[in-house]
Amino acid sequence: MSAGPRSRRPPTAQQFVLGEVRHMITTGELKPGAPIRQDALAERLDVSRVPLREALKILEGEGLVVHEAHRGYFVAVLSMADLREIYRIRELLEAEAVRAAGGRLTPEVLAELEAAQDEVERAGEAGDVAAMAAANRRFHFMLFERAGMPRLVRLITTLWDATDAYRSLYYGGTPNRERVVHEHRAVLAALREGDVEAAVEWLDRHRAHAVATLRDVLD
């Protein structure tokens, strides 16, 4: 494992541990199928085993880790059927969010989306997969949150959390990073023109390309 925990702990040890372990999984530091070595992890995070166990139970409920009797916790491995189901549900929910956001996209919001996309591109050009994944998430959720539907955004967040480790795999290839940039730019162009349905269609292609590539990677 890499360097120690990030700064600025949340109010409780459980929240702190939950955030740290989720971050390790979603950035790919803890890869799908990897065992969660609780003693080493508790020592690294400078906490007891109690908040770590509580955090792992929450992550198990979210589908990010699995527990095997007599073996302990492991980072969840998604099948292609799982990925397809998650991406299909995302397609439905995200289309609703983008359509609801369409009428709320002021020039200032579009400028913020453009700035977020610049971050995606800088990270992609540098080959920094973790930074690109984080910037990509900011770009998409900046758009979803304009819908003014917080429950919907929370549902989408859960789906993203379940597949972030796989998104990092996708960004590992230079052609994939270049495709992401192209598709994001097409989404932005459609939104600037007020063509929300075209933006939805580009986002559908965006997800479809990711699923197709991940199928090859997992195979």
Q: What is the pLDDT of residues 128-186, one digit of tens each?
A: 887 888 899 999 999 999 999 999 999 999 899 888 777 777 887 788 899 999 999 99
Please provide residue 36's backbone torsions phi and psi, each rounded to the nearest 5 degrees.
-95, 105
63 inside domain: yes
Q: Are 199 and 190 in contact (CB under 8 A)?
A: yes
Q: How many domains does the chain have?
A: 2
Degrees to nearest 5, angle at CA 92 with 198 and 178? 55
Query: pLDDT by residue for the chain (219 residues), tens digit each?
Result: 444 555 555 578 889 999 899 888 877 788 888 999 999 999 999 999 999 999 999 999 878 899 999 899 999 887 888 889 999 999 999 999 999 999 999 999 999 999 999 999 999 999 888 788 889 999 999 999 999 999 999 999 989 988 877 777 788 778 889 999 999 999 999 999 999 999 999 999 999 999 998 887 776
4 inside domain: no
Tokens 């998104």 correspond to: 167
Sequence-separated (6 or more) residues with CB below 8 Å from residue 193: none
Q: Are 177 and 186 in contact (CB under 8 A)?
A: no
Distance CA 100, CA 171 (A): 29
Which pLDDT belongs to residue 6?
53
- Host domain of residue 52: 13-75
Looking at 59, 75, 91, which one is the last position of a domain? 75
Claim to verify: residue 93 and residue 154 sit in the same structural domain: yes
Please provide residue 55's backbone torsions phi and psi, each rounded to the nearest 5 degrees.
-65, -40
Looking at 37, 52, 75, which one is the last position of a domain? 75
Claim to verify: residue 116 and residue 65 sit in the same structural domain: no
Degrees to nearest 5, angle at CA 164 with 155 and 93? 30
6 inside domain: no
Claim to verify: residue 157 and residue 186 sit in the same structural domain: yes
56 inside domain: yes
